Amino acid sequence: MAKDTITELNKKFMQRPDCVNDELKEILRTIDIREDELNAFVTVTAESALQEAMSSSKRFESGKSKGILDGVVVGIKDVFCTKDVRTTASSKMLDDFVPAYDATVVKKLKDAGAVIVGKNNCDAWAHGASTENSDYGVTKNPWDSTRVSGGSSGGSAAAVASGECVYSIGSDTGGSIRQPAAFCGVVGLKPTYGRVSRYGLIAMASSLDCVGPIASHVEDIAKILEVIAGHDEKDSTSVDLPVPNYSLALDKPLKGKKIGWAKEFVELGLNKEIATAIDSAKKIYQELGAEIVDISLPNIKYGVPVYYIIQPAEVSSNLGRYDGIKYGHSSSESENLIDHYFKSRDEGLGAEAKRRIMLGTFVLSAGYYDAYYNKAMKVRTLIKQDFEKALEKVDVILAPVAPTTAFKIGEKTSDPVQMYLADVYTAAINLAGNPALSLPCGFDSSSLPMGMQIIGKHFDEETVLNFGHMYEKKAEK
């Protein structure tokens, strides 16, 4: 059964304010039924959510609604600071951390009347492509509980797909919104770097991290982005540009528009069923009047190796603060200060975090900086230029999200390189900073969702959402 859009929910709430409470209670019932199996939340905030829903209902009753998101239930990935609510980054290092402030994105949602139902599970520190690195257990795929939900925002995508929230706010550093959205059959947007404030996001890789929504409909993504986007003085990387009314551009005709398709996508090991599904999507776009244009992204094959040099280097720096004294878990068995540092970090950090810290420290060390990090930064520029050149010829680029559908839990955990290759179609876009939308494009022979992504020019989320919405409408007919 199709889920209501946020606009449809808003109309219900205006007609019958009690529906706000009913909607939340239904979601809490779903959490009670499904959460033991899915494990999509680290923390459920039922009590505060009921209070928020009651306040929202009263606002609708008095005709003082705060807007389109008022009363709509949201999950927040557990890497965003939430005032007075435990925030762990799914790591035992922060098991008892309760922030004294809200991340900017959380504050904007609260100001818009959103009902926050809890904190979604993810890979610890957002390190991963499967949510198997969470210190609070793996999040399972709602379509097949033997398979991963994707990562790192796996809890967010699984919660939306299973009806445990209407939408969720995730973070995307190398595909962490788009890939789980594809695996779980929902929609996810990585906005342009700088479009949404990162203030209050527990940093993983500061030059790559992006904040974005996961929802069931492209229209919902547009509505959410209108609320969370915009300049923030607390984030020096936040760009001071006007926030468009994304919803107004959704139904623009695509006649005469151009969509780029790169031959390199097939060369990167794309599953045949996903390739066939994207071919079908191309035909739908042609029926809508768009033209498919061959383009080339010659340096995209270097996306994963470049990403896994730059990202661990930034991880090494960002996780240095968690020493058991200033921040994070503090060992009770240390004998002296140095021993305390070692034991606190050993006890608090998981295997993947340790792996990335060691990789990052190595590539930044004397004698290796030029050979690895500096060279990777140069290739990052080439990747960015590839996208810029391609997008001079076309309006958007159509691409796969992942080379396969959701893989089995445990299938890749013994081989980190195979796990890293799950980012082969997504990491390069973070390196380039472009916006990209992941949306469903059918099911494979195992009845698992398949996803594709639409990549746009910097700060042109309007066009990306327009292409996504028009496909979604046509494909649903």
Point out the residues that are catalytic: 77, 152, 176
* C-alpha to C-alpha distance for 330 and 313, rounded to whole angstroms: 24
Residues 171 and 211: beta-carbon distance below 8 Å? yes
Nearest CA to 177 out of 276, 101, 105 is that of 105
d(CA 202, CA 87): 9
Q: CB-based burial of residue 275 (10 Å sphere; 0-12 exposed, 13-18 middle, 19+ buried)? A: middle
CA distances from 44 to 49, 56, 140, 236, 395 (A): 9, 19, 17, 32, 41
For residue 166, the surrounding DSSP H or E stretch is none
Q: Quick one: tokens of 148? A: 């991963």
Are the C-beta atoms of residues 391 and 260 closer than 8 Å to each other? yes
Residue 476, judged by CB atoms within 10 A of its CB (0-12, 13-18, 19+), counts as: exposed
Q: Given 3-state DSSP classes, what are the helix, strand and coil percentages for the chain, each rounded to the nearest 5? A: 45, 15, 40
In 3D, which of 175, 401, 178, 189 has the Cα closest to residue 307? 175
Token pair in block for residue 104: 């900017």
Q: In the numeric block, which tokens belong to residue 225?
A: 């982005």
Q: Are 128 and 136 in contact (CB under 8 A)?
A: no
